[in-house]
Amino acid sequence: MSSVVQNPRINVLSDHVANKIAAGEVVDRPASVLKELMENAIDAKATQIDVKVVSGGKRLISVADNGHGMDRNNALLAVERHATSKIQDVDDIERVTTLGFRGEALAAIASVSRFAMITRTADDVAGNEINITGGKLHDVKEVGCPVGTSFQIRNLFFNVPARRKFLRADQTELTHIRQTFLIYALSHPEVGMTLMIDERPVHTLAAGASLMDRLGDLFGRDYSRNLREVKSESGLVRVHGLVGMPHVQRADRSEQFIFINGRPASTPVIAFALNEAYHSLVPKGRFPSVFLFIEMDPEWVDVNVHPTKKEVRFRRPDAVRDALIAGIRRAIRPDEATTPSDQSRSALPSEGDNTPRPQPRLRIDDLPSLPVFNYPRIAPRTEDDPVPPPQPRAQESAQADTAMPERERPWSWCRVVGQVGGLYVVLETEDGLVLMDPHAAHERLMFERFMDLLLARKLKSQGLLAPETVELRPADAAIVRKQLSLLTEMGFGISDFGGDSFMVDAIPDFLGAVSGESVLAMIAQTLDQGGQRGGTERWAEERIAKAACRAAVKARDKLSLQEIEKLVIDLAGAKMPYTCPHGRPTLIFMGFKELDRKFGRE
């Protein structure tokens, strides 16, 4: 080693060594092989792709497609480094419309495996089989085969022991393989696909499917209950797909799928847009399910910024961000959202119940009168309690439709059963039991009313009996000082009193009795947590409204029985009844099917 340091020499690496080094960038595990081969099949306009895997992909990865195939000369060129049919010139990189374009994948895979490719075009009578072992061409022969291309990759990394020993257990590698298959099955639902693992069929997906059909095949037919359709288009960007309602969340991003011009990829601006679209609806550390397709002119996307093409760069990221936020917001607001299927579904479904329930149109006045219960104890149900109301007649339904905007409600009828723990309200609905946090629900309603009045510029102020001097921390004072003019427009009577002090002599009439100190401290804290995200006036308005409502709810720690009963009715008509403005749930649902299972009644 010392001789190398004392007398360094520059050597040109052999193609054999260079290919193995390049393979490390393209192929790091069996799932990487599957990714490259499925992309090639999709680029070849295949309508059917069949995948077989043995021993986590270590022993065999087989991918067969019915695409356009290759003749003998093109097949031999395809396994050379930097040989591709997808671009011809450097300028073509700026207009890439295919998933692959670098011409590295097949050469890299062939250099670290026992590689076999069988391919035939529609114009050829017979196909050709090419066998490569560890990067060395073994033989080429004519064979009979259908139109298309099939690959068999055996003994991956057999000639790179250092790389092979870093592979995980078969089950772990299978998890990555299944995730890769899932990604491309979702990105191209029009392509039929099958997956067989260790001679056992796992997925059989029909060709010509819609995204909703493909989701049903992969996740189950009930999965779509909590998805809403997204459609958003600007001059540069078109966004479409499905997004989950805020009350259905996960602890990770494993159900967030983004496809850019058909390519599974992402970029920081997309994560930012998702956070902004859901930031008042989903708690921190929780993530909604999204299946979104972003389409634009290829010249507006740079796909050549990551070795494995997992990231892209947009020429106009602001246009993408705005289209995503606008589309998602319209979809998840119940008064504007459209359901992704022809059947109307309950927004709070009972788990495992496959029976679709019609959602009758309902006015607030149509809810049955709520029974009185002993606060805070649970009132027992009696035979005299009201029963679910009958379905409205056609004439009544028509009247309800004219009086009420199109909006899904969390229930078509409900009955207050009681209250537990001195806080949580128990409701019976047509689908099961619902637990409601009345303080979170109250906060949601206050926020929506506050924002409606604010956007309509109808906010009124109420003067305090005595002006209140509020002393804030220096950091909080600086934040509030920046928003003084906006706070004044929102109904706060506030002026800078010098130093870190402020004089508050009026608050928005809607908030009721709340101290200036509590609301200003909450506003400063909320704006500080938001950091530099957004910065627009609407963004600041929403932040301030949330903080004000939160302070108002804290100031009214006790809610009367009458307020709770009204809360249940009002919440049914809220735009987003399932979460408070900060993303905490207002409702937790337990369906009758789940109750039957827990009590062994199935």
pLDDT digits (tens, 9 = 90+) for 134-143: 989 999 999 9
Tokens of 593: 């099917």
Q: What's the CA gap between 430 and 314, in Å, rounded?
A: 48
Residue 320 has pLDDT above 50, yes or no: yes
Q: What's the CA gap between 292 and 376, in Å, rounded?
A: 45
| Residue 376: φ, ψ to 5° | -100, 15
Most confidently predicted of 5-9, 204-208, 507-511:
204-208
Residue range(s) occupied by CATH 3.30.230.10 in the chain: 212-332
CB 320 within 8 A of CB 265: no
| 363-367, 417-421, 462-466, 522-526: least confidently modelled range | 363-367
* Confidence (pLDDT) at 86: 54
How high is the mean pLDDT of the chain?
A: 77
Fold of 442-555: Ribosomal Protein S8; Chain: A, domain 1 (3.30.1370)
Beta strands in 100-237 (DSSP E): 114-120, 127-133, 136-143, 148-154, 192-197, 200-205, 227-233
Residue range(s) occupied by CATH 3.30.565.10 in the chain: 15-209
What's the pTM value of the predicted model, to 2 decimals?
A: 0.63
* Confidence (pLDDT) at 278: 85
Angle, to 10 degrees, between the axis of helix 516-530 and the axis of helix 474-482? 80
pLDDT confidence tier of residue 221, bands split at 50, 70 and 90: confident
Helix, strand, or coil here: 240? strand
Mean pLDDT for the stretch of residues 214-232? 88
Fold of 15-209: Heat Shock Protein 90 (3.30.565)
Q: Residues of the chain with pLDDT > 90: what percent?
A: 28
Most confidently predicted of 215-219, 345-349, 372-376:
215-219
Q: Could you say which of 3.30.230.10, 3.40.190.10, 3.40.50.20, 3.20.20.10 is the CATH number of the domain covering 212-332?
A: 3.30.230.10
Q: CA–CA distance from 103 to each of 35, 130, 134, 227, 294 (Å)?
A: 14, 17, 18, 38, 25
* Confidence (pLDDT) at 571: 87
Q: How remote is the C-alpha of 251 from its chain's centroid?
A: 12
Alpha helices of 279-390 — where are they, by DSSP H?
317-332
65 contacts: CB under 8 Å, gap ≥ 6: 40, 41, 44, 46, 48, 49, 50, 148, 149, 150
CB 150 within 8 A of CB 38: no
Residue range(s) occupied by CATH 3.30.1370.100 in the chain: 442-555
pLDDT confidence tier of residue 363, bands split at 50, 70 and 90: very low
Q: What's the CA gap between 376 and 560, in Å, rounded?
A: 10
Residue 38 has pLDDT above 90, yes or no: yes
- Could you tell me which of 214, 209, 239, 238 has the C-alpha nearest to residue 224? 214
Residue 228 CB neighbour total at 10 angstroms? 22
Tokens of 306: 């990551």
Q: What's the CA gap between 419 and 376, in Å, rounded?
A: 5
